[in-house]
Structure 1
Amino acid sequence: MVDFKIFLENYFEAQDDELEFVNYSEHFIDAPCNIYIIGCRPRVTIDKDYLVHNKNEIELLFKVQNEFNFIETKGKLPLEREVKGDLMLETNFPYSRFNIKDDLGYFFHGSEYQNKKDLKLKASYSLRVSNTDFDKTLINDFKALYIGQSIKMNKKLSPIKRLKSHSNFQRILSKCVSEYVDKEIYLILCSFVGKVGLSTVPEELLKVGDIGSYLRKLNSESNELTNDTKLITDIAEAALIDYFDTRNFNSDFIGSFGKKTHSYFKTLNESIVDKLVVEIDLNNLCRIYSDSIERKKHHGIAYNIKKDFQRDFFNAEM
């Protein structure tokens, strides 16, 4: 049996207001960013009236929002220099961005961005690093809302700069403001690649002894499939949309993966491949889920190409 595995090799997380800071060429060197996932996480805010400090660190009070309820937790950040004068916390509604300032200027900006008041710290990122005992699944779990391709974007630019004017992205932002008042929008830029492997040799070849010819054909088709970035992208996009069922924002591919009219169908159906596997593993970042799919770091779907793309899920790490 021949398996064609499409998997997540590399990824990068960003929020919509970080687009201009993402260095595409630095993060995607060996393989392009060909898929992006737009989703949301619980909003983390800062208590504007709480600030405790000594000469070495500051203590802040964070609030994780769930609808109109809040889970409170404190975190500590080391100060990079001695405090001069009064130490102040600057923030505005909805209090998810903030700055720490004294008479000399802002803390945590670094020399390059020193005293740029528009550059604010994020409560969500600050909570991640300031409290190691906090249950980070409360703020890291990522709900997938929209899945799209980025392969057609200018490779010299960060692929998410285009999203500033992307209609679906703007629509999700608007919906998040109106319907998900307790959420913030995040993006996961993904690099999906392919690998072909031989799991078992067909019994008929063992009988006739024509394994050499079969392996040469396998090697030729393997190179064609794994080097076809557009094919890999089309498959990953369609499979992930169908699996996570992001129908609120994706109108195509829901419940129809393996349809004869899809761009990848003819190539796979006529290939030597028996089983197609699509995996997304965000083990070092977060658990990903949707309204119909449970929260896991690692998701996998298998399709039997020779049986009309019959779908099967396999157990993956939670």
Structure 2
Amino acid sequence: MSANRNLENLISLNARHLSLKQQDTFTDSEITTELRKLPLHIYLICRSPKILLDMSNSLITTENIKLNFYTNLNGIRKDIFVSTLNRADQQIKEVDCPYPYNYFHAYSDNKSFHSEGKTNLLFKHFSAQNDVYHDEANLEVLYVGQAFGKNGSRITIDRLQSHEKAQKIYFDTQNKYPDYEIWFLSLTFEPTLMTVFDPRSFYNPDQMHIDLEHQVKIESTPISLDQQITILEAALITYFGTSEFNKEYLGFPSNKHISYKEVYDLDFNSVGFELSTYSIWSKLFSKTVDPNFLHYKKFFLHSDTERKEILQRLEE
């Protein structure tokens, strides 16, 4: 890295598409066909309370739907009532949710099919419609992984269909946290590149020439997709502190792992990510990160104090 260079190059990876599924859905051909339309190369294995549905204490009218969701953590039942409008154009007449009360079937007139799915997702959907959040919708991040293959041919569902770590987390949850369940959050990220020039370089033609040459190198040598995925995986592992199950990239970014060598060779100053989970109406958290819809972290790749100060002034 040139100590005299007066510019900062940043790459930020921003979440664009999120898919929250459980492992049994990955064998559904219709679901997998839809998922394959997106480059879902990053996934988070998460844990959340089981959200069950008690239809014996729910009410459906032509105007409104009031459903009795509940959790049963440590054998203590907590009821959560969620209401929403019963839309005239897609009216629900009846909902069935037999034991074990975690999968529903909704019907229109004459018992015709309306919808079906996990009660946990229905709970999030109805809560989001009312702009009401319940902490039971939180997702604890336990593991961060990637699926890429040759030229991006693999996506997360290919990896998760036979995943030893996912099975370990699943059985660990079943044994130690039977009132919880495992969810897989698959993600698509898009990169944003930004360059910040130190204004002092404009008064030094020689320095400006050096900076512009370096900028041409950056713009003409894009970071490969697999490199972006690896950077993102390493950043998320460090951010969420998932060392209980993740064993690689724990030293990011101080450990200059060969898997993300490109960003060092191109002399990037920092990398970061932005992740919003409003679309799935769940806050992510971990042992080291508080629950939130928005997660953002920037990692400085070098210890150059002056470069940090430039970026910090920009943020102000």
TM-score (norm 1): 0.77
Question: How far has the Cα of 1:206 moved from its partner?
Answer: 3.5
The equivalent of 1:18 in structure 2 is 25
1:80-159 equivalent positions in 2, closer than 5 A:
80=90, 89-93=96-100, 95-100=101-106, 104-105=110-111, 107-109=113-115, 120-131=116-127, 132-133=129-130, 135-152=132-149, 159=156
Instruction: Note closer, same or farther for the CA distance 1:206–1:134 as it changes in structure 2 (3 Å cut).
Output: closer
Candidates 276, 280, 285, aligned match of 1:281 = 276
Residue 43 of structure 1: CA displacement?
Answer: 1.4
- Give the match for residue 236 of structure 1: 232
**Deviation per residue, 1:246-284 (Å, 9 max, x gap):** 12221122245331344214x333323223333333343
Partners of 1:219 and 1:197 lie apart in 2 by 13
Distance 1:129 1:253, change over 3 A: closer
CA distance in 2, matches of 1:51, 1:192: 39
The one-letter amino acid of 1:44's match is I
How far the C-alpha of 1:6 sits from its partner, in A, is: 2.7
Letter in 2 for 1:91: P
* One-letter amino acid matched to 1:240: L
Q: CA 1:50/1:103 → structure 2, altered by over 3 Å: closer, same or farther?
A: same
**1:302 matched to 2:313:** no
Alignment of 1:131-280 (within 5 A): 131=127, 132-133=129-130, 135-152=132-149, 159-201=156-198, 203=200, 206-226=203-223, 228-265=224-261, 267-280=262-275
Gaps of at least 5 residues in structure 1 are 110-119
- Residue 107 of structure 1 deviates from its aligned partner by 4.3
**Separation of aligned partners in 2, 1:8 and 1:250:** 22
In structure 2, relative to structure 1, the CA distance for the partners of 1:287 and 1:101 (3 Å cut) is closer
Question: Is this contact kept in 2: 1:2–1:196, CA < 8 A?
Answer: no
Matching residue of 2:49: 42
Q: Distance in 2 between matches of 1:167 and 1:129?
A: 31
Give the TM-score taking structure 2 as reference length.
0.77
Q: Which moved more, 1:48-57 or 1:255-264?
A: 48-57
Give CA deviations for 1:75-125 in whole Å, capped at 9, x if unaligned.
346385696xxx6734112x111335699445423xxxxxxxxxx432222
Q: Assess if the C-alpha contact under 8 Å between 1:3 and 1:274 holds in 2.
A: yes
The amino acid that maps onto 1:15 is K
Shift of the alpha carbon at 1:143? Answer: 1.0
Q: How many residues align?
A: 293
CA displacement at 1:191 relative to structure 2:
1.9
Check whether the contact 2:147–2:158 (CA below 8 A) recurs between aligned residues: no
Residues 304, 203 of structure 1: alpha-carbon distance in 2 compared, 3 angstrom cutoff: farther
Q: Residues 217 and 154 of structure 1: is their aligned pair in 2 closer, same or farther, counting only changes over 3 Å?
A: closer
Match of 1:116 in 2: none
| 1:170 CA drift (Å) | 1.6
Corresponding residue SS for 1:136: coil
Q: Following the alignment from structure 1 to structure 2, what is the Cα–Cα distance between the partners of residues 224 and 173?
A: 41
Say whether 1:73 aligns with 2:73: no
* 2:14 equivalent in structure 1: 8
Name the % identity. Answer: 18
Whole-Å separation in 2 of the counterparts to 1:169 and 1:153? 22
